[in-house]
Amino acid sequence: MHAQRLSDLRAELARLGLDGFIVPRADEHLGEYVPENAERLAWLTGFTGSAGMAVVLADKAAVFSDGRYVLQLAAQTDPALWERRHLIDEPPQGWLAANAEGRRIGYDPLLIGEEALGRFTEAGVTMVPVEQNPLDAVWKDRPDPPMAAAVPHPLERAGRSAEEKREEIGKILRAAKQDAAVVTDPASIAWLLNIRGTDVSFNPIALGFAIVHADAGVELFMAPQKLPPATRDWLGNAVSVQDRPALPGALRALKGKRVRVDAAGSPIWFAQALRAAGAQVVAGMDPCMLPKASKNAVEQQGTRNAHARDAVAVCRFLHWLETAAGNETEVSAAERLVAFRTEVKDFVGESFPAISGAGEDGAVIHYRATAETDRKMKHNETYLIDSGAQYLDGTTDITRTIWTGPEAAPNDIRDRFTRVLKGHIALAMAIFPQGVGGGHIDAFARNALWQVGLDYDHGTGHGVGSYLSVHEGPVSISRAARPIPIAAGMILSNEPGYYLPGSYGIRLENLLLVQPAELPNAVKPFLRFETLTFAPFDRRLIEPSLLGRAETDWLDTYHAKVWEVVGPHMPKGDRKWLQESCRKLEQM
């Protein structure tokens, strides 16, 4: 099947006079979750992971993915057809440089950003944009694009009217002397116009594009059938709606204008179309990104409420886990957590595919338990579960690592767990001046591990949306974070970890809300974090002697708050367990 597809594509490339073609795992929005009709990489290669790329030449082909998908890539793709390569260590541009120097390699400009394309051009191949994706020409039964209805996100959840937001963006554009901005991220459109959708999994967005003008008017490009009358009314007269095919004409109409395009987040097709039309393309961040990242007071209270309700499901689940070892599997446990969440008011769905890893599976950082990998939870091992939910009033994301017992946890695992916890607490307690970015405080969360030569190979935190994407830009907490100041109202995850491959994994994650720090002697504005997530940390894995006084105080105060917030809402049968789990550390 995949042999036929590959040979069909090669025939099409030959017809187009191309020496090769790249097939990234991407849709026209460069989004994390893509609709079925954009699953070109899976259709062509069989590989269904969430990150990857295929490169097809006339005589050879390779498929790339990153470290978390090594086994899956090998299992799902045919070695007779595909060289299997590491996306980061042996990137596609290097493979092309070695195998196709100077050749003409096609790409679909709707599926790659300007910065990513630049890396191919630098590799010494000639990158040729195609007007129509040749893969789509040979994918005969390609699904239709999703046509789910977009629905209003009401003011009592959004906190600010779309009109006010459009005015803010217009003002930003006028200040930058720009006439318009192209917005290709459906999450930005969802924020800007106060709408939500169900076109893709996990992220409540309606796929579409927008042009925002300096006068605060918006052209929305979205199939009319996705906008029922109530939603069309909700958008108002300052938002014009046209179907997707009208987009090229609308870009041509920007001739002579200064138009902002996000060089990292938008497909290069937009800059190319604008330049061809005689518009002046100005590289700049999607203007909705920063305003969207700083949640207003209504969104902040919504996310607090969502987290308090989510905590009931999570705490019931943690209690339920006490007897899971020997009876449950990674998959059944994750399903049980979804079942608890389904009982929570305003639950919409998971905010990402849960990571449910027992023992050595917990050491696989982006592990996903499937029917093939699923295994029973054993006694006397760690179990890591990273999960989240979308509620109408907020998005959650929490990770806990527990000890299944009944024996005591080994000292080395307790040492590592406590060091991860120290990092988590250091970040939660951080106070820092305005202007500081996520790259400047990342080390707080790593320090206790670094002191003994350990570390974790992922970022410490990512932005989180308000009933939107659980991975939201532009701010993150990591060594590679963009130099963008952390600002009040942002929601960031705090998730240090430690992973011993083949043995166990630890990750401890709460979400943080950035707040002004009220300090009596402050010489300038400072910020601090409010922890949004409420669930106890497993004290069977804590070594109290490794914690300093301030750390123990933080933990006791946190657990007291968990009991205060969650306790009253716990079913009777779970309440005592929670109270016990939230007692002071000294009382062990």
Enumerate binding residues for a copy of itself (CB under 8 A).
430-433, 435-437, 439-444, 446-447, 450-455, 479, 517, 519-524, 526, 548
> Does residue 136 contact residue 142 with C-beta atoms inside 8 Å?
yes
Nearest distance in Å: CB 458, a copy of itself: 14
Nearest distance in Å: CB 433, a copy of itself: 6
Nearest distance in Å: CB 56, a copy of itself: 28
Nearest distance in Å: CB 451, a copy of itself: 5
Nearest distance in Å: CB 126, a copy of itself: 19
Please tell me what DSSP assigns to residue 113: B
DSSP 273-321: HHHHTT-EEEE---TTHHHHHS--HHHHHHHHHHHHHHHHHHHHHHHHH
Q: How far is CA 575 from CA 314, 404, 532, 567, 579, in A?
A: 13, 20, 20, 6, 6
Q: Which amino acid is at 59?
A: D
Residue placing its CB nearer to a copy of itself in the complex, 452 or 588 = 452
Q: Label residue 16 left, alpha or beta by phi (over 0 means left) and psi (-120 to 50 means alpha).
A: alpha
CA atoms within 13 A on the CB side of 228: 10
SS3 readout for 136-160: HHHCCCCCCCCCCCCEECCHHHHCC
Nearest distance in Å: CB 431, a copy of itself: 5
Task: Mark 414-438 as b/e (b = at least 16 C-beta within 10 Å).
Answer: bbbbbbbbbbbbbbbebebeeeebb
Give the CA-trace dihedral at 315, 316, 319, 320, to 10 degrees: -140
Residue the block writes with tokens 């595909």: 82
Residue 195 and residue 182: Cα distance in Å, rounded? 18
Residue 503 and residue 380: Cα distance in Å, rounded? 12
Residue placing its CB nearer to a copy of itself in the complex, 371 or 452 = 452
Nearest distance in Å: CB 193, a copy of itself: 33
Residue placing its CB nearer to a copy of itself in the complex, 228 or 525 = 525
Nearest distance in Å: CB 447, a copy of itself: 7
**How many CB atoms lie under 10 A from the CB of residue 545?**
6
Contact partners, residue 578, CB within 8 Å, separation at least 6: 315, 319, 536, 562, 563, 566, 567, 570
Nearest distance in Å: CB 29, a copy of itself: 29
Nearest partner of 291 among 541, 466, 523, judged by Cα: 466
Q: Which amino acid is at 582?
A: C
